[in-house]
Structure 1
Amino acid sequence: MAGHRICGMSFASVYPHYVTKAERKGRTKEEVDAIIRWLTGYSQEQLEQQIAERVDFTAFFASAPAMNAAREQIKGVVCGVRVENVEEPLMREIRYLDKLIDELAKGKAMDKILRAPAP
């Protein structure tokens, strides 16, 4: 799976698709960015820099300041693949992001998407 073509694609080329998917369902670019920041630890400025530099997915995740430990709570199916069963680490990170964007587009509340602990 390490040679999967998405690994070499620029994050910037896929990012607009995440935003479009969310906006089609009445969600916002800001919510997409919040999800990406939660997952990766990038600041908004760092995220925008990664997009501007057109880094590929491999570099995008390798450079992430602080991958959120709570991402391991992300479960479910994306593109017919159970996220928690993806063995290749980079593909698992990509699938985590895909799953979070899917949850946003399906109307799930941000605190649930971001795996906020119950009060």
Structure 2
Amino acid sequence: MANDRIFSMAFAKVYALYVQKAERKGRTEAEVDQVICWLTGYDAAGLKRQIERGTDFRSFFDEAPALHPNRALIQGVVCGVRVETIDDPLMQKIRYLDKLVDELAKGRPMEKILRP
């Protein structure tokens, strides 16, 4: 199953791609970290630990301290699918993160990316 492959993928590998995407568009690694921490509740040290451990996506989200209560306000299309209509809870969290990084790379102001 395709989802199982994504769920078992190392978060650190995808994190590097998120950072590359953001930096190509003039954003910073710190901004990527800010978006990830907002969504997951990790602090900078916790995020760094997850990356260093090579945690997979499933564990990354299972161990997240506190998913942001406003994550349901994240809407839009990622990979041709509306994030708000994804049935699998883990896939939805992954796509929420993808959508936030997309918005960052597109130059959206941080105050709008981090839904109040």
Q: Give the secondary-structure state (helix, strand or coil) at the position aligned to 1:4.
A: helix
The alpha carbon displacement at 1:2 in A equals 8.2
Q: Where does the alignment leave 5 or more consecutive residues of structure 2 unmatched?
A: none
Paired position in structure 2 for 1:93: 93
Distance change >3 Å, CA 101–CA 8, structure 1 → 2: same
Deviations 1:8-35 (A, max 9, x none): 0010111000000000000000000000
Aligned partner of 1:78 in structure 2 is: 78
- Paired with 1:2 and 1:31, the residues of 2 have a C-alpha distance of 29
Give the alignment of 1:108-119 within 5 angstroms.
108-116=108-116
State the distance in 2 between where 1:75 and 1:5 align: 24
- Equivalent-residue separation in structure 2 for 1:26 and 1:3 (angstroms): 31
Q: What amino acid maps onto 1:28 in structure 2?
A: T
Give the Å deviation of 1:61. Answer: 0.1
TM-score, normalization by structure 1: 0.95
After TM superposition, where is structure 1 displaced by more than 3 Å over at least 4 residues in a row?
Answer: 1-4
- In structure 2, C-alpha distance between the alignment counterparts of 1:97 and 1:5, rounded to whole Å: 17
2-side partners of 1:115 and 1:74: how far apart? 8
Q: How does 1:19-38 map to 2 (within 5 A)?
A: 19-38=19-38
TM-score by length of 2: 0.97
Deviation at 1:111, TM superposition (A): 0.4
Distance in 2 separating the partners of 1:3 and 1:95:
12
Match of 1:107 in 2: 107
**Following the alignment from structure 2 to structure 1, what is the Cα–Cα distance between the partners of residues 87 and 36?**
21
Larger helix proportion, structure 1 or 2?
2
Separation in structure 1 between the aligned mates of residue 89 and residue 17 of structure 2, nearest angstrom: 22
User: How far off is 1:5 after superposition?
Assistant: 1.1
**C-alpha distance in structure 2 between counterparts of 1:2 and 1:65, whole Å:** 27
